[in-house]
Structure 1
Amino acid sequence: MDAKQFLAEFGHVAKAPGGIAHLRQMIYQLAVTGSLTPRGESREDAGLLLAHIGAQRQRLIRAKQYKRMVELESEPVCPPQGISLPAAWRWTRLLDIGEINPRNDAPDEQLAAFVPMSGVPQFHRAAIIAETKRWGDIKKGYTHFANGDVVLAKITPCFENGKAAAVEGLPGDAGIGAGTTELQVFRPIHPGVLSAYVYLFLRSPLFMVEGEKNMTGTAGQKRVPTDYFATRAFPLPPSEEQSRIVAKVDELMALCDQLEKQQQDRRKLQNALRQSTLQALATAQSSHELRMGWERLQANFGQLFSEPQDVRDFRGLVLDLAVNGRLLPSTRTPTPASTLLDQIAEARSKWAKTAEGQEKKEAVGMLKKLRTQQAAAPSEVLPEHWRWASLLQVSQAVVDCHNKTAPYVNEGIHLIRTTDIRDGRMELTKTRKISEETYAYWARRMQPRAGDIFFTREAPMGEAAIVPDGERVCLGQRTMLIRLFNELFSNRYLLYVIQSPSFQTRMSEAAIGMTVKHLRVGGVEDLVVPVPPRDEQDRIVQVIDRLFALCDQHARHLTTGLRVAASLASSTVAALTGINIEQAEDTAMKAPQTELVSLLRLATPPDVKAQAPLATILARHQGEMAARDLWQRFGGEIDAFYAQLKTEVTHGWIAEPEPAQVREKPTAEPAKA
C-alpha cells in the first residue's frame, strides 16, 4: 500500500461507524508488517540482531538467569500466509527474543508497584496506573513485571478490548511490580528489541485476530494461552527501524486522537442543534412559530438525524406535541373533555353499585381515594376544550401488585416483571412462570385482562405496556395495573402519554428515594395526564402511528447505510492490510465472544460507609443492570467480581440473582470469495 492509496481510502474509513478504531487497527497492522515506513532504507539486517539475541540468551541460560520453555523451543516459526516482510526483517517468536512471564527477585521491604486489571490501560501507549506496596506483600500469588516489560491482558473481555502496556515509570526504587494474574508478560533480553515495538505487535490484528481464535477455557473466562503468546510469528525489524516505526505510529495515533475528538465535538454540536430545534418546536407559542419550527426541522432533517438513535428524540417531540394538543388542527365545535371526565365518573359510580366481591372493594376504594385526592395541574397550556386529570380520575381502577417474590414453575402463567416491559411493549419470551394457585392469590385484587396497562414504578420506573390479546399475565413486583373504561378512554392514547418526555419529566419530579428513585402507589395515582375528547384521542393515536411508521422507516434506512459503510470500511482495511478485521457494533469497546446475561437488581440500599461497590453502581443506574455491564463498570477481574457479588448478596444489598448464565455469541460465517 502506498500513500496515494491510503489517502484515497482514508475518508470513508474514518467516517464509517467505528472508523477511527479501524484506522488504529490498520496502523498497527501496517506498522508491524513493514508497510508504514519506506522499505529498503535500512542499512541493518534483523538476521544479525537475531544472532546477537541468541548469543545473549545462551549466556543467560548458562548463568541460570533465564526462564526457559523447553517444550516450545524446538517448534519451528510459522509465518502467516500472505504477508511479505521487507528484506531486512526476519520472522521470529517472542520466546526466542525475550523471556515469557519472568519472575522478579527483591527484598521484602523493597517498595514496588501493584497493578490490578483496572490499572492496565486499553488506549494507545497510555500509562499503567499503579499503587505502591511492600514487595513482600505482593510477590506471591501475583504476576511479576518490571520497567521495560510488555504486559497483555489475557482474559476476555480485557484482551478483546486491547488492555496492554509497555511498562515504564513504575513507582518504587527497583522499578518492579506485581499485579493481576490475568496477564501475559514479555521481557526483552537484548536492547535491540524495543518494548514499544513489541507493544505494537500485541495490539495489531496480526496477533489479536488469531489470539481470539486460540483462546481457551470456559465461556465466561476464556484466556489467551501462554503457548500462543510465546510462539505467534513475530516480525522483527532492525533496531533503528523499530524506533522509526514506533515514532510514526505515535504520530499517527495522535492524529487519530485529534480526528476522534473532532468527530465527538461535531456529534455534540449536532446533538445540541437537534435538541434546540426540537425544543423550539415543543415550546412554540403560536401557529406561526410552530410552522417555522417545522420548516426549519424539515430543511435540516438529514443533518440533525444522522444515526438511528437520533430518531428517538424526534419520537419524543411527536409525543409531546400530540399529547399537548398541538399536532392536530383544532375543530370548530369540539366536545369539552370535562364531559368525558363526567362520563368516566358516572361509569365508575355505576360500577361501584353493580360490582360484587373483591371488585366491589376496589370500586369503593377508588371512590374514597378520589374524594380526598388533590392532584395539582401542571403549568403547561392545553387547548381550551382539554383538561388535566389524574390517572385515578381517568381510570376504572389502579391496582398495585402483591409485593413479594412469587414461587416459579417451569410452565404456567406469565409473571410480568419490570424487565419484561420496555419501550411500550410487553416481552413475553423470557418471562418467569407461575402456577394457577399462585396466580389466584397474586392476582386476587384484580385479574389482568387484554387491554389493561401494566406500569412500572421502580427499577426502572415509568415503563408501560398494554396486555396483549390471548395472553394470561400477572403483575410482578414493582408493577401496577391500570384499567380504563375502554369505550370512554383509549388505552393506546394513555400509553403514548406515559411514553412522552413531558410525562416522564413530571413523573421524575414526583419520584422519591435518595438512592433509587421510585414512585409510591399514591404517587402513581396522582400523576396527571392531558385529557382530550375520546374522538380526538383516536385521531391522535392514528397520527402518531403514521409518524412513528415513518420514523421506523428512516431509522432502518440509517441503520442500513451505517451497516454498508462499516462493511465497506472493513473490506478496505482487509484489502490494505491482508487481514480481515471484524469490528463490533459498539466501537468504543470491542465486544467479547461471550457475555454474561444474568440481570442483577438492587435490594436493600447499603449504608454510605458500607463496602458495596456493586450495589453503589446499581443505585446509580435505576437499580438494575446486566451482570456483564456491571462487571465491566466494576473494572476488576471476573473472580473478584463474583466474590464481591456473593458478599453483597449475602448482606442483602443485591437481590439473589437468577442462576448465572454465560452464553456464546453466534460466530459470523466467513465471507465467501
Structure 2
Amino acid sequence: MSAQALITEHLDLWTGAVTKKSSSGRGSNGKVELNGIKKLRELILELAVRGKLVEQDPNDEPAAILVSKMLQLRLRLTNTEGLRTKASDSLSFSDEYLCIPSSWAWVRLGNMAKFIDYRGKTPAKISTGKRLITAKNIRQGHIDLQPEEFISEADYTSWMTRGFPRKGDLLFTPEAPLGNAAIVDLDEEFALAQRAICFQWHIPEISEFMLIQILASPFQGQLVENATGMTATGIKASKLKEIPVAIPPLEEQQRIVQKVDELMALCDRLEQHTSDQLDAHETLVDSLLGTLTQSANATELANNWARLAEHFDTLFTTDQGIDKLKQTILQLAVMGRLVEQNAGDEPAKNLIKCIDEEIGQRVSEGTIRKPKALALVEGSFPYELPKGWRWEKLGRFTLIGTGATPSRGRPDYYSPPEYPWVTSGETSQTFICDTNERVSSLAVKETNISIYPTGTLIVAMYGQGKTRGQITELKVAAGTNQACAAIQPIIEDASHRQYIKLCFVKLYDEIRENAAGGAQPNLNTGKIADILIPLPPLAEQHRIVQKVDELIALCDQLKKRLSQSSETCCQLAEAVVEQELREGDRDAGF
C-alpha cells in the first residue's frame, strides 16, 4: 500500500486517536494530543529508513560505493587534518537491526562524519555577543533560537578550538534530552555548548536523509540500547560513533527526502484540519453550555438541558469538554438553577439563626471562642440569588483551624505513630482514609496540632503546582500540618458539608487568586474565612447535592466511555502501523 493510500484509507484512525496531554505544544489542541497523526509521522520516518517509502531504481549507484567514498575521505582527513573521529570498519550480520534493500549499505556513524563536541564548563553567558546554541535549542527537526544565550567574542575564540559548525551540518543531543537532531540553517556564526554534538558529514549531501534516519524509531532505539545513566540518560560519543546506519544510494536519499517532506506537509494539513475541527467543536460546546448558565428560570433551564442531553455522545467527545460540563453543573448549582426552589423550605436566614444559637451555646460552654464578626459589603455580591438564599462568608457558619509540623528532631513526636497527620499534598484525594505519616500523642500534647473529627473538610493553603485551593474530607480523625486549613461546619449535616465542598470545587480558581505572596503565594485561615458562599435553604442543599452527584456520575460514565474509545482507536492505529511494517518486510522478501 502506498503511503498516501495508507493515510487516506485510515483517515478516521489517524484523526480519531486523540489522547489527553498535560501541556500544549505541536500536535496538540490545548490539552489534547493528536496521537494518531503523531503515530503516522513516526510510521513515515520508519518506512523511509527501511527502504519502503519510495521505489528502488536499479540505475542508482549502489550505496556500497557511497560508503567507500566516505571511508576514503575519512582516511584523507585523518592524514591531512588529524581527524580523530573513527569507528570500526567491520560489520557483522548481528549488527544489522533493520532489513534493508540490496542496493543499500551499512556503515558506522563514526565513519560518516567528524564529531565536533565541547567538554568542560561553558564560558560565562552575557546579554549580547556570539550566539550560543545549547541542547535546549536543538529540537526534533529544527533549531529553536529560544532561549537566547550569548558569549563574548574573546570566549568564542578560545572556546571553539575543536571545529566550527557549518550550514548543513547536523546538531545532535547525546543527553538531556537524548536523541534530538536538527540541520544547521543559521547564516551567523555561533558557539556550541557542551552536551551537544555537531556531525560534519564527509559527504554533506547526506545530511537531510541522516536527519530522517536519526529521528526515526529504529535509530532512536539504538540510542536507548546504548545509553547509560539513571537520572539523566545519555550516550557516550565512543558508543554513539559505533552505531551502524543503513544508507541508501544518494539518488534514492534525495527521493526519500522529497517524499518525506511531501507526506509531512500532508500530516501538517491533516493536523491543522483536525485542530480546527476540535476548536470549532469546543466553541460549540462553550456556546451550548452558556445557554444553561444564562437560563432565566428553571423551566428554560430544563428545556435547554433537554436539548443538550439529546446530543451528549456527539457533543462531549473530549476530556476537557466533559470537565467544562462538570463546571457548568457546579455553576448552576451555586446559582440556584440546578433544582427548583420550594416555597415551603425554611429560608437560609433561619439556618443562620440556628447556627448563631449553636455558636452562642458553645461559647457559653467554653468549648469555642467567640468568632470574629465578618461584615458583608452590599453591592459586592457576584450575582443575584433566588429568594430564600443569602450570601454569607464561610467563617459565619463554620469553624476554621489549622495545624503544625512537629520538630523532625524529636523522634518521639512521630513514634509511636498514633494519629493520622494530613499534609497539603494529600488534599488531591476526594477523601482522606489514611495518611502517609502519623504523629504521637506527645506531639498532639506539646505542639499546635489539633485532632479534627471525621467529616472535617481540609483545604490546602499552599503547596506545589495545583495544590493550593484543593479540598478533601476526613474519613478518619486526623491532625494536619500548617499548610492546611480544617473546616468544621457548625451544623452537622452531611448534605450541608457536601454543599460546602462543591462550592470549593467550583470556586477553585477564584480561591487560588486570593492567595498572597511572591514565588509561592499562600492562603491563610483569614482568607479562607472570608470566602463568599451562596447559601441556600438547608432542604434545597439536600436536593442540590443529590442532583450534582447524579449528574457528575453521568459525566464520569461519559469520560470512561471516551477513554475506552480513545484507547481502542490508539490501539487500532498502532496495529495498522505494525501490519504495514510486517507486510512491507514480506513484500520485499525479508
TM-score range, shorter chain: 0.7 to 0.9
Q: Which residue of 1 aligns with 2:425?
A: 419
Relative to structure 1, the CA distance from residue 252 to residue 144 in structure 2 (aligned partners, 3 Å threshold; closer, same or farther) is farther
Using structure 2 for the length normalisation, give the TM-score. Answer: 0.83
Residue 186 of structure 1 aligns to a residue whose secondary structure is strand
Contact 2:117-2:196 at 8 Å conserved across structures: no
Letter in 1 for 2:275: Q
Alignment partner of 1:392 is 2:395: yes
Matching residue's letter, 1:15: G
Where does 1:306-455 land on structure 2 (aligned, <5 Å)?
306-355=317-366, 359=367, 363-366=368-371, 369-370=372-373, 373-374=375-376, 378-395=381-398, 397-402=399-404, 412=417, 413-422=419-428, 424-426=430-432, 428=434, 431-443=436-448, 446-455=450-459
Q: Distance in 2 between matches of 1:518 and 1:134?
A: 42
Pick from 563, 566, 573: which aligns with 1:569? 573
Contact kept, 8 Å, 2:171 with 2:198, in 1: the verdict is: yes
SS in 2 for 1:398: strand
Q: Counterpart in 2 of 1:588?
A: none
**Of 189, 213, 224, which residue of structure 1 is paired with 2:225?**
213
Match of 2:111 among 92, 96, 119: 96
Name the CA distance, whole Å, in 2 between partners of 1:44 and 1:10. Answer: 37
SS of 1:415's equivalent in the other structure is strand
1:224-373 alignment to 2 at 5 Å? 224-355=235-366, 359=367, 363-366=368-371, 369-370=372-373, 373=375
Give, in whole Å, the separation in 2 of the partners of 1:512 and 1:112.
41
Pick from 30, 33, 46 the counterpart of residue 63 of structure 2: 46
Deviation at 1:103, TM superposition (A): 7.7
- Greater CA drift, 290-299 or 337-346: 290-299
Contact (CA 8 Å) 2:226, 2:235: kept in 1 or not? Answer: yes
Deviation sequence 1:395-438 (CA, Å, 0-9, x none): 1x212444897668666344322221126444855x34444322
For the Cα contact (< 8 Å) 2:348–2:388, is it kept in 1? yes
Contact 1:421 1:427 in 2 (8 A): no
Amino acid at match of 1:398: I
Q: Which residue of 2 aligns with 1:492?
A: 498
Is 1:12–1:565's contact at 8 Å kept on the other side of the alignment?
yes
1:67-106 correspondence runs (5 A): 67-69=84-86, 72-74=88-90, 76=92, 78=94, 80=96, 83-85=99-101, 87-101=102-116
Q: Distance in 2 between matches of 1:293 and 1:79?
A: 66
Deviates more, 1:250-259 or 1:474-483: 250-259
1:117 lines up with 2:125 in the alignment: no
Please name the residue that 1:55 is paired with: 72
After superposition, the CA RMSD in angstroms is 3.2
- The verdict on how the C-alpha distance between 1:454 and 1:240 changes in structure 2, with shifts beyond 3 A counting, is same
CA deviations over 1:511-554 (Å, ceiling 9, x no partner): 44566544343222121212223333223222222222222221
Structure 1 window deviating more from structure 2 (306-315 vs 403-412): it is 403-412
Q: What letter matches 1:419 in structure 2?
A: G
- Scaled by the length of structure 1, the TM-score of the pair is 0.74
Residue 562 of structure 1 and its aligned partner are, at CA, apart by 1.0
Assess, with a 3 A threshold, how the Cα gap between structure 1 residues 420 and 57 changes in structure 2: closer, same or farther.
same
Q: Which residue matches 2:38? A: 21
Tell which deviates more after alignment, 44-53 or 517-526: 517-526
The one-letter code matched in structure 1 to 2:394 is: L
User: Unaligned regions of 5+ residues in structure 1, if any?
Assistant: 580-673
TM-superposed deviation, 1:63: 2.2
- The change in CA–CA distance for 1:577 and 1:142 in structure 2 (over 3 A counts) is farther
SS at match of 2:182: strand
Aligned counterparts of 1:388 and 1:295: Cα–Cα separation in 2:
30
For the structure 1 residues 439 and 41, does the alpha-carbon distance in structure 2 shift closer, same or farther, using more than 3 Å as the test?
farther
Q: What amino acid is the match of 2:548?
A: I
Say how many residue pairs are matched. Answer: 546
Residues 482, 125 of structure 1: alpha-carbon distance in 2 compared, 3 angstrom cutoff: closer
Asked if the contact 1:308–1:556 (Cα under 8 Å) also holds between the matched residues in 2, the reply is no
CA contact (8 A) 1:128 1:165 kept: no
Shift of 1:216: 0.9
Report Cα offsets for 1:297-336 as digits up to 9, x if no partner. 2233233321234322111112222233222233242222
Paired AA for residue 114 in structure 2: E
3-state SS, counterpart of residue 440 of structure 1: helix
Measured after TM superposition, the shift of residue 207 of structure 1 is 0.5
Shift of 1:557: 1.0
1:343 Cα deviation after fit: 0.8
Deviation at 1:34, TM superposition (A): 1.7
Cα distance per residue 1:19-41 (max 9 Å; x no partner): 22112111111112222222236
Contact 1:36 1:245 in 2 (8 A): yes
Percent of aligned pairs sharing the same letter: 23
- The residue that corresponds to 2:587 in the other structure is none
1:265 positional shift: 2.7
Q: 1:400 to 1:522 in 2, by over 3 A?
A: same
- Aligned counterpart, 1:618: none
The answer to whether the 8 Å contact 2:422/2:479 transfers is yes
Q: Using a 3 Å threshold, how does the CA distance of structure 1 residues 488 and 28 change in structure 2: closer, same or farther? A: closer
CA contact (8 A) 1:418 1:478 kept: yes
Residues 467-490 of structure 1, C-alpha deviation per residue, up to 9 Å, x if partnerless?
113xx4222223211112343572
Deviations 1:49-97 (A, max 9, x none): 2222222222222224321446x44454645456232x32222221232
| Inter-partner Cα distance in structure 1 for 2:448 and 2:142 | 59
> What is the CA-CA distance between 1:135 and the residue it aligns to?
6.5
- Whether 1:186 aligns to 2:202 is no
Q: Hey, what does 1:482 align to over in structure 2?
A: 487
Point out where structure 2 has 5 or more consecutive residues left out of the alignment.
19-34, 124-128, 584-590
- Residue pair 2:89, 2:108 contacting (<8 A) in 1 also: no
Instruction: Report if the CA contact (8 A) 2:113-2:199 is conserved.
Output: yes
Match of 2:180 in 1: 163
Partner of 2:191: 177
Cα deviation, 1:101-123, whole Å, max 9, x if unaligned, reads 4689xxx9xx965212221123x
What secondary structure sits across from 1:561 in the alignment? helix
CA drift of 1:510 comes to 4.5
Cα separation, partners in 2 of 1:461 and 1:54, compared to 1, 3 Å: closer
- Which residue in the other structure is 1:456 paired with? 460
Distance 1:101 1:432 in 2: 52
CA distance 1:506–1:184, change in 2 (3 Å): closer
State whether structure 2 residue 475 is matched by structure 1 residue 468: yes
Tell me which residue corresponds to 1:636.
none
CA distance, structure 2, for counterparts of residue 8 and residue 543 of structure 1: 45
Q: Does the 8 Å contact 2:431/2:475 carry over to 1?
A: no
Note the alpha carbon deviations across 1:449-474, whole angstroms, 9 max, x for none: 111111223344322111113xx422
- Could you say if the C-alpha distance between residues 550 and 145 of structure 1 is closer, same or farther in structure 2, counting changes exceeding 3 Å? farther
Alignment-derived partner of residue 622 in structure 1: none
What is the CA–CA distance in structure 1 between the aligned matches of 2:445 and 2:277, rounded to whole Å?
56
